[in-house]
């Protein structure tokens, strides 16, 4: 399986894609995102993943906590892949 196919299958395995991004945007606003192409929001800044994870765990919503944890893991893997 190629690297692109494996990353696609990981993303498809997430039940609600974008859920963690929506939560982070709601809690922290646009300051939690890097600037993307054409002035749009890009990736979530790495410093906001642990903050969002702690807030979700404190709220008692374990499903959201797992989704954010999964998003953090995927973000770290993407950074490692980009470095080579």
Could you tell me which residue, 39 or 71, shows the higher pLDDT? 71
Average pLDDT estimate for 73-83: 87
Decide: 14 and 67 in contact? Cβ < 8 Å.
yes
Average pLDDT estimate for 10-15: 55
Provide the terminal-to-terminal Cα distance of the chain, rounded to the nearest Å. Answer: 18
Helix H segments across 1-84? 3-13, 19-28, 48-59, 62-83
pLDDT of residue 48 exceeding 90, the answer is: yes
Range name among 9-18, 23-32, 42-51 with the lowest pLDDT average: 9-18
Range of the domain at 58: 3-83
Nearest to 10 by CA among 74, 83, 78: 74
pLDDT of residue 52 exceeding 90, the answer is: yes
Question: What's the structural domain count of the chain?
Answer: 1
Percent of the chain with pLDDT over 90: 30
Angstrom distance (rounded) from CA 83 to CA 17: 25
pLDDT of residue 18 exceeding 90, the answer is: no
């Amino acid at each position: 399986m190629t690297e692109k196919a494996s990353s696609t299958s990981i993303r498809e395995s997430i039940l609600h894609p974008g859920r963690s991004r929506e939560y982070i945007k709601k809690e922290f606003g646009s300051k939690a995102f890097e600037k993307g192409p054409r002035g749009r929001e890009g990736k979530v800044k790495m410093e906001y993943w642990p903050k969002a994870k702690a807030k979700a765990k404190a709220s008692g919503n374990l499903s959201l906590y797992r989704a954010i944890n999964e998003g953090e893991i995927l973000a770290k893997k993407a950074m490692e892949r980009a470095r080579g």
